[in-house]
């Protein structure tokens, strides 16, 4: 075996450790950039999506995920766009679920807007999914329509019920927005508490042009937390999900509330994740533009050595952190791509 061949073979056996010593064991995969909603903070109403020819097949996505698992990924989250609108996506869940059975993977999960959950919840459970995130920013039907533009409130509610009935733990993700849902968060915490669901509050991040100034909607979670403390007893919790949220337990409901604060608190020190798009582009940081193309090495060779080398080369470029700012005078978003490209 030549030196070159030996180093290629080693690439598939090495775990992913970045230059700052952080071990990468969490992969988020955006399986489609398409969506059946047009949430105002996420997309513009007239979004153009990728031509289908640019999108990797489900088989290619499966091979990419399998390679990442070999390189040390223990947690996989499928997201989008709306992952559950991709045709045949349950095949991918099934294939990835096998790695749960073998013990190579600890967790397979999904972030969804809930619109397709009624028909998929039981199958997700059968594939080994145990926890899901459902994005829901309001319990008010009119506001729901205003923020999602195309969403169907009753369908999402039925989807959440179906998920709970199927035995899935549901966590509600809500983007906190000034003058939109800030007066509703108490009610949402109570509603989640009644249904045994945790909740995560997210600060809107400056990603992609959405046709309006984001500074108008920005609401600091520090302020939100202070307001919540007027109504609820928030006890510090050391709960960790492998994600960036800081959790508290709401004493009155027994459920957790997480705060994801990319703007007011830098959560990069413990970053263990990378993000793959449906075109095979790997983003090493949500808040930076640097990316690595994995489609070329994926297609160049039927075995995984070349791909593993490209992944290691990308991890070696993982930056220390992001530098999001929301600046009222800045016209441009901090990163040009929309959240639907990398899936959050
Ligand atoms: N369609 C699925 C959903 O909505 O759950 C998955 C993809 S969506 C891009 C993932 C998460 O990103 C959602 O919880 C959504 O609220 C959040 N998100 C989208 N754009 C965002 C932004 N600019 N800032 C903060 N969160 C955002
Ligand atoms: Fe679609 Fe999710 Fe973006 Fe809303 S947040 S437009 S549901 S991808």
DSSP string, 256-309: EEEEE-TTTS--GGG--EEEE-TTSEEES-TT---EEE-HHHHHH-SSSHHHHH
Cβ neighbours around 219 below 10 Å, total: 19
Q: 5: CA distance to ligand 1 center in Å?
A: 42
Q: What is the pLDDT of residue 13?
A: 82
Could you tell which of 28, 34, 42 is best to mutate to test the pocket of ligand 1, judged by most ligand atoms within 8 Å of the CB? 42
Instruction: Indicate whether this model's pTM tops 0.85.
Output: yes
> Tens digits of per-residue pLDDT, 11-55?
888 999 999 999 999 999 999 999 999 999 999 889 899 999 999
What are the residue ranges spanned by the domains of the chain? 22-342
C-alpha 234/C-alpha 254 separation (Å) is 10
Do β-strands 246-250 and 234-236 pair in parallel, antiparallel, or remain unpaired? Answer: antiparallel
Inter-CA distances, 237 with 219, 265, 276, 284, Å = 23, 17, 30, 28
Ligand nearest to C-alpha 28: 1
> Tens digits of per-residue pLDDT, 246-291?
899 999 999 999 998 765 545 677 889 999 999 999 999 887 888 9
Q: Which residues contact 19 (CB under 8 A, 6 or more apart)?
A: 316, 318
Could you tell which of 111, 147, 278 is best to mutate to test the pocket of ligand 1, judged by most ligand atoms within 8 Å of the CB? 111
Ligand nearest to C-alpha 210: 1
Mean pLDDT on 171-181: 95
Ligand 1 within 6 A of 202 CB?
yes
In words, the CATH class of domain 22-342 is alpha beta
Could you tell which of 80, 112, 138 is best to mutate to test the pocket of ligand 2, judged by most ligand atoms within 8 Å of the CB? 80
> Tens digits of per-residue pLDDT, 142-161?
999 999 999 999 999 999 99
Q: 136: CA distance to ligand 1 center in Å?
A: 10
């Amino acid at each position: 075996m030549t030196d070159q061949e030996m180093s290629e073979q080693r690439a598939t056996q090495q775990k992913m450790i970045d230059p700052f010593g952080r071990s990468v064991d969490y992969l988020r995969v955006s399986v489609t950039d398409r969506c059946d909603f047009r949430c105002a903070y996420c997309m513009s109403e007239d979004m153009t999506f990728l031509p289908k020819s640019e999108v990797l097949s489900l088989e290619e996505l499966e091979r990419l995920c399998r390679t990442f698992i070999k390189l040390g990924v223990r947690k996989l989250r499928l997201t989008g766009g709306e992952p559950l609108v991709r045709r045949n996506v349950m095949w991918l869940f099934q294939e990835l679920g096998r790695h749960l059975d073998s013990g190579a993977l600890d967790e397979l999960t999904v972030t969804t807007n809930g619109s397709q959950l009624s028909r998929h919840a039981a199958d997700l459970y059968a594939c080994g999914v145990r926890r899901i995130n459902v994005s829901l920013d309001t319990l008010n039907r009119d506001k729901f329509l205003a923020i999602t533009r195309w969403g169907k409130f009753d369908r999402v509610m039925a989807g959440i019920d179906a998920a709970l009935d199927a035995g899935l733990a549901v966590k509600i993700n809500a983007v906190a927005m000034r003058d939109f849902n800030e007066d509703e968060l108490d009610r949402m915490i109570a509603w989640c508490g009644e249904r045994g669901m945790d909740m995560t509050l997210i600060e809107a991040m400056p990603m992609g042009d959405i046709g309006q100034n984001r500074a108008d909607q920005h609401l600091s979670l520090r302020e939100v937390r202070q307001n919540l403390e007027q109504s609820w007893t928030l006890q510090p919790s050391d709960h960790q999900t492998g994600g960036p949220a800081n959790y508290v337990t709401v004493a009155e409901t027994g459920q957790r509330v997480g705060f994801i604060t990319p703007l007011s608190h830098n959560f990069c020190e413990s970053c263990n994740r990378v993000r793959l798009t449906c075109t095979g582009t790997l983003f090493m940081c949500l808040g930076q533009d640097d990316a690595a193309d994995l489609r070329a090495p994926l297609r160049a060779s039927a075995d995984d050595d070349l791909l593993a080398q490209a992944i290691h080369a990308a991890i070696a470029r993982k930056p220390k952190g992001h530098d999001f700012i929301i600046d009222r005078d800045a016209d441009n978003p901090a990163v040009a791509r929309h959240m639907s490209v990398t899936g959050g």
